Amino acid sequence: MASVLNNIFGGKPAAPQAESAGGDSDFADFSQAADPSPVPVAGESSTSSSFGADQTVRPYTKWYNVHERHSLSEFKVEGVILSFMAVVLVLHLFGARLNRNKAKKWIRAHAAPLTAEFSSVGFSGVPLNADDKKGDQLLQAIADGNVGQSDSLLKEKSLFEFATYATGRANIAFVDVKLTLLKRFNPLTVLFDKVSSFFFDSVSETYDVVEATLYPFDGKEGLLVPTIPGTAEARSKDGKSTFDGFVWALVHKECMKQIRDDRYDVSLTVTKDNSKLPNWLTVMTESAEITEALLTPELIKAAEAAGDLLEYLIVSDQPIEKPKTLNETTPRKRIFLKYRLPSNNDYSKLVPLFRYFLRLTDRLVQVAHFRPEVLRKVKAARDATAKQIEKADKESRAEELAAERERAKKAKRDQELNALDAKAQKKYLERERERELKKSMKKQTMRA
């Protein structure tokens, strides 16, 4: 109380009594302030700067020089990896450039027959400067545009696939051309394909090849070409582009077996050697009369000039894959040409064959109208295939109906079984087992 009054009135505090100082033994440890001894700290050299502030200076060591504490020998693994990546990149760029150059040389050699036979070549369509022109001026403007496109007539789909397209010709709807080149940008893949084809017969060796597919009008110009006013007279000639359907092929003998295995349409033909052909070529046909009509001296000369590079020339109205439905057996007339690209990029011996391929529809429209006896023989093979498909379709439907009946029967049995109590279910199952046992015994008796 005295201390409180002294604080209020400004008096001096009374000295603590000895009794109160040592009265509480629990706070004896805190009666005096801590007096720890200082821990010695290692001295650092310091200098006085021009501003009077002390700065700590560390001694110079070579630890802070990168070129002294590291050497190139420590990066051997990284060097090998970077070198390998550089080699792969150079090979990739070099191989891609080789493929592009090869494709450009092909289109430069074949641009002349394409632009001469078709009014539109490539994927660019009608040139802008030809929009306001008509008649012969339009055709001339389109032809000039095709010539001016040059290398752009060929489209690069990938580093090893190139394609071009042509349309605008009598008797032909359009032509698709695809170049498939070796993957020179990936030498390991090329090496693997070569080794695999050497050790395994099932793996065919890869080459630089051209595959061209021609689609004739076959009298369907009215369905494929838009009607233009004032062209009724020209439309009257559309029906004259038709020809009979058949399968005929001029094939290199080394490719004959593989083509027969890979293509359903060629499997319908019979192989017959012809004395007019060189020994490396053969004819696969459905009738000798078809061969007489198509094997012209001009074709023989072009095939001999192409030599071993020619793989096949096929005229077909059947699908490549074996049809599985009746709709797939509908005839679709096409002409196929496949040949290998020469390593020296000299296409002077292949251009005549390609030009004959583009004009083959004109020959078919003129001569591919055969006697009824020949057409009956050709139709017989197609009817046999259609009957097999129809029979397989009926068997498949019968199996589906049987499975449906079985599912309905099982659903009815489960419904009847669920409606019974436990005792009745037991009797039901016993009768069912007895019936199954009797059926199995009858089957055994009939077999005996």
Examine residue 92 and state whether it is found in any structural domain, yes or no: no
Strands 161-169 and 172-180: antiparallel
| Number of separate domains in the chain | 1
The CA distance from 282 to 280, in Å, is 7
Query: Please, are residues 170 and 186 in contact by the beta-carbon 8 Å criterion?
Result: no
**Long-range contact list for 374-377, CB < 8 A, 24+ apart?**
374/287, 374/289, 374/290, 375/244, 377/286, 377/287
Q: What confidence score (pLDDT) does residue 329 get?
A: 85
Q: Where are the alpha helices (DSSP H) in 128-255?
A: 135-149, 187-199, 221-224, 232-235
Is 240 a member of any domain? yes
User: CA–CA separation, 170 vs 218, rounded Å?
Assistant: 10
Task: Please provide the distance, in angstroms rounded to a whole number, between the alpha carbons at the two ends of the chain.
Answer: 129
The single-letter DSSP state of residue 324 is S
Cβ-in-10-Å burial (0-12, 13-18, 19+) of 167 comes to: middle
Instruction: Provide the pLDDT for residue 143.
Output: 61
- Residue 231 has a pLDDT of 47
Q: CB–CB of 336/316 below 8 Å? A: yes
Inside any domain, residue 104: yes
* Domain-embedded: residue 350: yes
Which pLDDT does position 437 carry in this prediction? Answer: 86
Asked, for residue 302, whether it belongs to a domain, the answer is: yes
Residue type, 161: E
For residue 360, give its domain range.
99-226+236-377
Would you say 365 and 244 are in contact if contact means Cβ atoms under 8 Å apart?
A: no
Q: Kindly provide the residue ranges of all beta strands, DSSP E only, lying in 228-293, ordered along the sequence.
A: 248-252, 270-272, 281-285
Which amino acid is residue 442, in one-letter code?
K
Residue 148 inside a domain? The answer is: yes
Q: For 266-302, b where at least 16 C-beta lie within 10 A, e where not — what string?
A: bebbeeeebeebeeebbbbbbbeebbebbbeeebbeb
- List for the chain the helix, strand, coil content (%; round to 5): 55, 15, 30
Predicted pLDDT at 47: 46
C-alpha torsion 187→191→192→196, nearest 10: 160
Which of 213, 102, 108, 104 lies closest to 165 in space, CA to CA?
213
Residue 398 lies in a domain: no
The answer to whether position 7 is within a domain reads no
Q: What is the pLDDT of residue 91?
A: 93
Which residue type, as a one-letter code, is found at position 421? D
How would you write the pLDDT of the chain (448 residues) with one tens digit per residue?
Answer: 556 555 555 555 544 444 444 455 555 555 555 555 555 544 444 444 444 445 555 565 655 677 767 788 888 899 999 999 999 999 999 999 999 999 999 999 999 899 889 988 888 765 555 555 555 555 566 666 665 566 788 999 999 999 999 998 889 999 999 999 999 999 888 888 888 888 887 777 888 999 999 999 988 877 766 655 444 444 545 557 899 999 999 999 998 989 998 999 999 999 988 899 999 999 999 999 999 999 999 999 999 999 999 999 999 999 999 888 888 888 899 999 999 999 999 999 999 999 999 999 999 999 999 999 999 988 888 888 888 888 888 888 888 888 998 898 888 888 888 888 888 888 888 888 888 888 888 777 766 5
Host H or E run for residue 10: none
The residues pairing with 336 across neighbouring beta strands, listed in sequence order, are: 213, 314
